[in-house]
Structures are given as C-alpha cells and as structure tokens.
Structure 1
Amino acid sequence: MLTIIAATSENNALGKDNQLVWHLPDDFKRFKALTSGHYIIMGRRTFESFPKPLPNRTHIIITRQKDYEAPEGCFIVNNLTNAIALCPKNEEVFVIGGGEIYKQSINIVQKIEITKVHTSVEADTFFPVLDLKRWKLVFEEFHPKDEKHAFDFTYLTYVKR
C-alpha cells in the first residue's frame, strides 16, 4: 500500500526554505512510529532537510541530478515510477514529501496520513488540495496545544473511496 504522510497547516502549507514551520514533538513521534521499518519515498530537497538518514527506514530519493550521491543504504532514482518499482509490493510504503512529490503521488496512493496544524502560515511549499469526493475520513484525533506544542493539531487518516 502506498501512503502519503504529511503535516500541513489550515492553508495547506508544508514548509518554507526547505524547513518545517512548526515544532510538534508528538507529530515527530507519530511519524517515526508509522514509518519505522518501512520504505520512504522523498524528493532530494526533503532528504537534504534531514541532518542524516532517518534510522530504521529505507530511503528512496527522487532527483533529476545525474551524479547525485547519497549515503550508503539510500537509493537514488529519477522519477516516482522508478521509486515505487524499488519498493516491496506487499508492504506499506510512505511518500514523505516534498510538495512536488505529493502532487505527483496524490492520485495513486491508497491512504493519506495528515497532521492538520490549526494555524495558517507563510510558506513556499504546499500540500495539494484534497478532493474529498475521492477520499473518506476514517480516523480523526484532536490534540490541544500545550507547553511542548505551540498549535492545536489533528491527526487525520483518509482512504481512497
């Protein structure tokens, strides 16, 4: 199963200057719990936003750069089709960004895991608008802001109708 996982604001912002625009420790924990042990597909800029490869995950990096080098254990491909072809067919695979990779994959994934951050922020990268006629909300869990989280947020799980 191919699943998108993302954190977006109310105005579908993902980030600015190749960085997230909020710090939500519980969302990081959820991301780690869901993606650990799985293949993760991402664009080059998303990969480069990490200080190092994420532990216990197989990284597939999409880039048009012919001579791009990544750390050992990471796979480099030139398009989404080739990225998907590298993944096991009987396991959940996560598309983790960025904006362009989400746009390319939104119509072929079976599930979307969104953390909706209840704020609107200035950004340069956005998540595609979901056509709710094509997606069914199957899980929703609200988290109020607290001393570790500057914003309220809600976990939302959608499956293709």
Structure 2
Amino acid sequence: MFAAIWAQDENRLIGNGDTMPWHLPNDLQFFKNTTENNTIVMGRTTFEGMNKQPLPNRHTIVLTTDRDYQAEGVTVMHSVDEVVAYEKNYDGIVFITGGAKVYQEFLPLCDIVYRTVIHESFEGDVFIPDIDFDVWSMIDVSDGLVDSKNKYPHSFETFKRKK
C-alpha cells in the first residue's frame, strides 16, 4: 500500500529549497511514529537536504533519474515503475515523503494521506501539488500541542481515498 505524508503551511508550502521552512518537533515525532518500520520514498534533492543520512528504522528509497547516483544505506531507484514493482512485493506501507514532483507522481497511487497543516504562512518555493480532496475522506484530525518548542498551531489530518 502507498501512503503520502507531509507538512504544509496554510498556502500549501512544503519547503524552501531542500529544507523545511519551520521547526516543529511535534510533526517530526508524528512523522517518525507513522513511518517507522516501513519504507519511505523520496527524491534525491529531499534526501540530500537530510545530509544524505537515511532515517533509522526505515528502508529508504531515493528516486532519481541520475543512473550513476549512489548513496550509502539507501536503495536507489530510477522510475515510478521500479517503486511500484517494489511495493507489490512489500508487506508494509510505502510512504511517499517528497519532494513536490515525487508527490505529484505518486499521489494517484496512494490510499492514505497523512497531512500536517501548520496554521501559519512561511517563505519558500516548494509547494504540494493541487489535490482534489473530493476523492478523499478525512478519517482523523487532531490538534497538535503548542508549547515553547512547538510555536505554531498545527493539525494532524488523515485522509483515506474514497472507493
């Protein structure tokens, strides 16, 4: 099964270059708890924005068109079809984790979406593609705790594709 997970601001912003334009530990913990012991798929730029460090307790697939690309501790794939073939033989969840082009290519294949909405506006240049939420049902929503480490109001939303 494919699922997508991301955090965005009120304007669908998800990044600034290869980094996130905010610091929200609650969202990082949500991401960890949701994706742990599964596979995550990301583009090369997203991976390099993480200092080329795979996340612990997850199998990481880096998607790139560069046939010579190599990175330690990850599986490099070069097409959506390769990832789809992997998913067909995988018992866990394959999480799509960015960037924008990767989301655009995989959202039509996803059954679940995990979206953190940060109720602020930030500066950046990477946006989540337009999504037709008429084909999705919200199955869960909860507000994140705002405190000294998590300064922005935010909500965790889960959507399931309508059949």
Aligning the two structures, in what range does the TM-score lie when normalised by the shorter sequence? over 0.9
Mean Cα deviation higher: 81-90 or 45-54: 81-90
CA RMSD of aligned residues (A): 1.2
Identity over aligned residues, as a percent? 31
Identify, as 1 or 2, the structure richer in helix. Answer: 2
Per mean C-alpha deviation after superposition, the further-off stretch among 53-62 and 78-87 is: 78-87
Q: Counterpart in 2 of 1:136? A: 137
Structure 1 runs (4+) deviating above 3 angstroms are: none
Matches within 5 A, 1:12-161: 12-51=12-51, 52-72=53-73, 74-87=74-87, 88-161=89-162
Question: Unaligned 5+ residue runs, structure 1?
Answer: none
Paired letter, 1:92: I
Q: Distance in 1 between matches of 2:45 and 2:63?
A: 9
SS in structure 1 of the partner of residue 84 of structure 2:
helix
Residue ranges of structure 2 left out of the alignment (5+ in a row): none
Shift of 1:84: 2.6
CA distance in 1, matches of 2:144, 2:45: 29
TM-score, structure 2 as length reference: 0.93
Superimposed CA distance per residue, residues 78-103 of structure 1 (whole angstroms, 9 cap, x where no aligned partner) = 11221232234432110011111001
Alpha-carbon distance in 2 for matches of 1:82, 1:110: 19
TM-score of the superposed pair, with normalisation by structure 1: 0.94
